[in-house]
Amino acid sequence: MTQPQTSDLPQVADCRQDFPALHQDVRAHALVYLDSAASAQQPMSVIETVADYQRRDHANVHRGVHTLSHRATDAYEGARDKIQSFINASSRSEIVLTSGTTESINLVAQSFCRPRLEPGDKVLITHLEHHSNIVPWQIVCEQTGAELVVAPINTRGELDMDAFDRLLTDDVRLLAIAQVSNALGTIIPLRDIIPKAKSLGIAVLVDGAQGVPHMQIDVQELDCDFYAFSGHKMFGPTGTGVLFGKESLLDAMPPYQGGGDMILEVSFDGTIYNELPYKFEAGTPNISGVIGLGAAIDYLLSVGMSRIAQHEEQLLAYLTRKLGEVEGIRLIGTAAEKASVQSFLVDDIHPHDLGTILDHQGVAIRTGHHCAMPVMDFFGVAGTARASLALYNNNDDVDRLVEAVVKARQIFA
Amino acid sequence: MNAVDFHTGDDLRELYRELILDHARNPRHFGKLDRPTHTAEGINPLCGDKLRLNVRVDDQENIADASFEGSGCAISVASASLLTDMVIGLPVAQALDCFTVVTQRLTSPNVEREQDIGVDLSKIKALDGVREFPSRVKCATLAWHALRSAIHGQTAPVSTE
């Protein structure tokens, strides 16, 4: 029995066939989609799963005794099981379904932190965070009198570990930290950081929005207390998200919102809350979206997370090399450990002008501050152009990007 | 510049006309203004354009001088530069007419039936290319919205979002 050769396996880039949105012309050019870090495209299997559900199985969940309600509930709860297994949570009670990473983080800020924080306490974040991992902490610090502390970065866009270690003190109540910087692609060394925080008794929330699509996640191995992510960055529908929380913590937390589904019994004398995870899921959820997220997980598993990571690593190396060869380019975010995101500027062309010229050549990138204004301030720029790669991108996409950037330079020459 | 091959069609050339690129590279009336009577900030959060428009209105209700500060993309800077060129010397009421005509011109396709407000609009026509780029219309109108809010004495920054 011989092991199959790697070359016998279908190439990850062949996945492109599975994504109908990628097969269209934009402004008379074949679309090159390099904005997956903002929102990834969906494979046919996700689109069909959602459509089949809408066509055949739709009803409200956890309510009716009728057949459609059972089907909807089974599919919805089945997706929760897939999510649990995908990130290796120890119990399905630990998987709270939300509208996205933003809601997941706000839930922790208001339900976990707000009752615990007092003046003199600290919440520690980093200079790399997305606004959704900054503003909820600013709000809760304002509400409680706690202090928000920001760990600095260096000019490569890496966390300054010496400074971080000094800021990680025992008056920090929560460390809220990205796994991957959305603006710069920096991979944060969580395996070094989390044990240090845990040894001081500090709770840790990981913003995994940019981590999940690119690498295998094991929340038990990471030993974080909370892990937040979004469906639409991992090839699922928008309006879906997950908060993983350790059961003992979730159990002790008050509900985030009140409403239907999160209760066992309601009277005007008081209300008995539902068990986990339903205590945190008030109201009718995004049923079709969550079912679509389950299909996205099936898809990712069928491709294989390690193969995806390997493909993207090669592609990022190619992107960095080819972009770096363009005259007048300034790469922003050059960390040693990076996920497949590259921010850049060209000459003194404003990123917004660059975005328009690239779009005109069928190349979709993100331009602006990437919801990370402090990162932009650090590098002294108003914004950047950002190309982000996913499993369906290939070297040709990179070549088209470079070609379009060169053309932009000619227009502004 | 002429050597550039615009395979991708003429509307990109229409957007980045030579006059626009010239005003973006060498903005007129850029910087602080001596004794401004009216000032307002315009913010376009989508791309981070942030401009401050300053005007000095004299006793006869004429715009004696105008300037702008800040940073933005080529379209918003060029538009602000063209604006200052255009409104200096105009009565305030006429400058507000310019706001109406220019914003209508950039957002509506029916430019042929434009009202005559007695101001030379030839240069501002260089911005017509943005009509093909809906996401850029806000860049082109930002300074104009700031002008209007400055004249109306609004203090909160205007946003074209």
DSSP assignment string, B33-63: -SS-SEEEEEEETTTTEEEEEEEEE-TTSBE
B132 touches chain A (CB under 8 A): no
What residue of B is the nearest CA neighbor of A354?
B73
- B1: nearest CB among A368, A383, A413: A413
Distance from C-alpha of A234 to C-alpha of B45, rounded to nearest angstrom = 26
pLDDT of residue A1: 43
CA–CA dist A409, A413 (Å, integer)? 6
Mark which residues 311-350 of A lie under 8 Å from B by CB: 349-350
Among A337-346, A372-381, B40-49, B59-68, where is mean pLDDT lowest? B40-49
Higher pLDDT, B146 or B2: B146
Decide the pairing of beta strands A263-267 and A270-273: antiparallel
B138 in Cβ contact with B146 (< 8 Å): no
pLDDT-derived band at B132, boundaries 50, 70, 90: confident
Pick from A193, A191, A220, A180: nearest CA to A124: A193
The tokens for A366 are: 């993100």
Point out the residues of chain A with pLDDT beneath 50. Answer: 1-7
**A337-361 pLDDT, tens digit each:** 999 999 999 999 999 999 999 999 9
Identify each DSSP E strand in A152-295 by its residue range: 172-178, 203-207, 226-230, 241-245, 263-267, 270-273
A224 is catalytic: no
Report the distance separating Cα A191 and Cα A10, nearest Å: 32
| B156 reaches A (C-beta below 8 A) | no
CB-nearest to B72 from A29, A349, A350 is: A350
Helix (H, G, I), strand (E, B) or coil at A38: coil
Q: How many CB pairs under 8 A join A and B?
A: 62
The rounded distance, in Å, linking the Cα atoms of A297 and A330 is 36
Q: Which span out of A352-366, B4-18, B122-136 was modeled with the highest average pLDDT?
A: A352-366
Closest residue on chain A to B44 (Cα): A368
Identify the pLDDT of residue A268.
Answer: 85
- Give B9→chain A minimum CA distance, Å: 9
Supply the mean pLDDT for chain B.
86
Please tell me the predicted confidence (pLDDT) of residue A336. Answer: 96
Q: Give B8's contacts in chain A (Cβ within 8 Å).
A: 27-29, 360-361, 407
The answer to whether B47 contacts A360, with C-beta atoms less than 8 Å apart, is no
- pLDDT value at residue A9: 54
Q: Which of A31, A356, A358, A376 to mutate to test the interface with B (most CBs of B within 10 A)?
A: A356
Task: Pick B8's closest partner by Cβ from A349, A360, A383.
Answer: A360
Residue B4: pLDDT over 70 = no
Compare CB distances from A356 to B4, B71, B136 and report the shortest one's residue: B136
Asked if the interface predicted TM-score (ipTM) of this complex is over 0.90, the answer is no
3-state secondary structure of A20: helix
Share above pLDDT 90 across residues of chain B, in percent, rounded to a whole number: 57
Query: What is residue A269's predicted lDDT score, i.e. its pLDDT?
Result: 84
CATH fold of B10-159 reads Sufe protein. Chain: A (3.90.1010)
CB contacts of A352 in chain B (<8 Å) are 46-49, 73, 75, 136, 139
**Chain B contact for A356 (CB, 8 A cutoff):** yes
What pLDDT, on a 0 to 100 scale, did the predictor assign at position A2?
Answer: 46
Looking at per-residue pLDDT, the higher value among B160 and B44 belongs to: B44
Mean pLDDT of B53-74: 95
What would the pLDDT profile of B83-100 be if each residue is shown by its tens digit?
A: 999 999 999 999 999 999
Amino acid letter, A322: K
pLDDT of residue B122: 83
The answer to whether B119 faces chain A, any CB pair under 8 Å, is no
How confident is the model at residue A3, as a pLDDT? Answer: 47
Domain ranges within chain A, ordered by starting residue:
6-30+304-411, 47-302
The active-site residue out of A15, A141, A224, A371 is: A371
CATH of domain A6-30+304-411: 3.90.1150.10
Q: Which residues of chain B does A367 touch, with a Cβ-Cβ cutoff of 8 Å? A: 47
State in words which class domain A47-302 has.
alpha beta
Q: Which of A29, A382, A413 sits opposite B71 (nearest CB)?
A: A382
pTM of the model: 0.91
Contact: A29, B49; criterion CB under 8 Å: no
Is B96 an interface residue toward A (CB < 8 Å)?
Answer: no
- Burial label, A147 (beta-carbon count in 10 A; 0-12, 13-18, 19+): middle
